[in-house]
C-alpha cells in the first residue's frame, strides 16, 4: 500500500498561524521535505516536532522527485513544506504533485497560510474574479507578460521582491495606465505588516519615499 503526500502550509510570518492539523501531520509523517533545513528547523523546534528533514528546493527538485515518489510507492508518508506559505504556490511543489498525479498516488493539501489571500481581501479591489500571476519573469518575456496582463479585466495578484518593487510599479504604470488602482501589502502577519492602497502614481510615490522590506504582494486593477 502506497503512502500519502501531504502539502502542509507554514506561517508566512506569525508562528501562531500554524494549524493544529498541520502540527499533527508533521509529527506523524516519516519525513519532511523543506526548502531550507535551517529555516524549517526553527519552526519544527517551536512546535516540538522531531522528524527527519530532507532538502527539496527549486535547484534540486528535478533530481529529488523520483526518489520521493519511490518512497511513497514503498508506503512512506511524506510532508512537503516551504519556508513560508503553501507549497506549490510560487514555491517548490508542482513537479512533485504532477509526478504523484501521473502515478495516481494519494495527495492531500492542508488549508492554511498563503500570502496573497490576506492581501487580496484587504485591498478593497474586486475579489469576485482574480488572476494569480505570481512573480513576473525576470527579464525575457517580462514586457510580453505585462502587455497580456494589462488587457485582463480581472483583479491581478503579483508577488514582488523589495529591490524590484520600484521598477515593477513603474512598468505597471507604463502598461496599465495612470488610472490603475493598486494595493501593496508587505510583511503579512508580522509585526510591521503594512498595506498601502491608491492609484499607481500614489503607490510609486509611497514606494520611493521609503525602503520597503519583506516580500510584497501587489493587487492590481485597471478598471477595464
Q: Are 42 and 53 in contact (CB under 8 A)?
A: no
pLDDT digits (tens, 9 = 90+) for 77-106: 999 999 999 999 989 999 999 999 999 999
Walk me through the domains of the chain, giving residue ranges and CATH numbers: 5-109 (3.40.1010.10), 115-221 (3.30.950.10)
What pLDDT is attached to residue 224? Answer: 60
What number of residues does the chain have?
A: 224
Contact present, 201 and 178 (Cβ < 8 Å) = yes
d(CA 86, CA 49): 19
Look at phi and psi of residue 198 and say left if phi exceeds 0, alpha if psi is from -120 to 50, else beta.
Answer: left
Around Cβ 89, how many Cβ atoms within 10 Å?
A: 17
What pLDDT digit, counting tens, does each position of 47-60 carry? 999 999 999 998 99
At residue 113, the 3 state secondary structure works out as coil
Selection from 21, 27, 91, 22 nearest residue 56 by Cα: 91
Pairing of strands 216-221, 155-160: antiparallel
- Measured between alpha carbons, how far is 76 from 70 in angstroms, rounded to an integer? 9
Compute how many other C-beta atoms are within 10 angstroms of the C-beta atom of residue 221.
20
Q: Which residues partner with 132 through β-bridges? A: 157
Considering all CA atoms of the chain, what is the largest pairwise distance in Å, rounded to the nearest integer? 58
Strands, E assignment, 73-112: 78-80, 106-109
> What is the pLDDT at residue 139?
87
Return the pLDDT at 9.
97
Give bridge partners of residue 7 from the DSSP assignment: 80, 109
pLDDT reported for residue 187: 94
User: What CA–CA distance (Å, rounded) separates 90 from 87?
Assistant: 8
Rounded Cα distance between 33 and 49, Å, is 14
Which residues of the chain are modeled with pLDDT < 50? Answer: none
72 burial via Cβ count (<10 Å: 0-12, 13-18, 19+): buried
Answer for the pair 199, 180: CB distance below 8 angstroms, yes or no.
Answer: yes
Q: What is the pTM of this model?
A: 0.91
Amino acid at each position: 500500500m502506497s503512502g500519502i503526500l501531504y502539502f502542509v502550509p507554514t506561517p508566512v510570518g506569525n508562528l501562531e498561524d500554524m494549524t493544529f492539523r498541520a502540527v499533527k501531520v508533521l509529527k506523524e509523517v516519516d519525513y519532511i521535505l523543506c526548502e531550507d533545513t535551517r529555516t524549517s528547523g526553527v519552526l519544527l523546534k517551536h512546535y516540538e516536532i522531531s522528524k527527519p528533514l530532507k532538502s527539496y528546493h527549486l535547484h534540486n527538485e528535478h533530481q529529488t522527485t523520483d526518489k520521493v515518489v519511490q518512497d511513497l510507492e514503498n508506503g512512506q508518508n511524506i510532508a512537503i513544506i516551504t519556508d513560508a506559505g503553501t507549497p506549490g504556490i510560487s514555491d517548490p511543489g508542482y513537479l512533485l504533485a504532477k509526478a504523484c498525479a501521473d502515478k495516481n498516488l494519494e495527495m492531500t493539501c492542508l488549508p492554511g497560510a498563503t500570502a496573497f489571500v490576506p492581501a487580496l481581501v484587504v485591498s478593497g479591489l474586486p475579489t469576485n474574479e482574480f488572476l494569480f500571476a505570481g512573480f513576473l519573469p525576470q527579464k525575457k518575456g517580462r514586457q510580453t507578460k505585462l502587455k497580456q496582463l494589462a488587457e485582463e479585466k480581472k483583479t491581478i495578484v503579483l508577488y514582488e521582491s523589495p529591490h524590484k518593487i520600484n521598477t515593477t510599479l513603474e512598468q505597471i504604470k507604463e502598461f496599465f495606465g495612470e488610472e490603475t488602482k493598486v494595493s501593496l501589502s508587505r510583511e503579512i502577519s508580522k509585526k510591521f505588516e503594512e498595506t498601502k492602497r491608491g492609484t499607481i502614481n500614489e503607490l510609486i510615490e509611497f514606494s520611493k519615499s521609503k525602503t520597503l522590506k519583506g516580500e510584497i504582494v501587489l493587487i492590481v486593477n485597471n478598471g477595464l
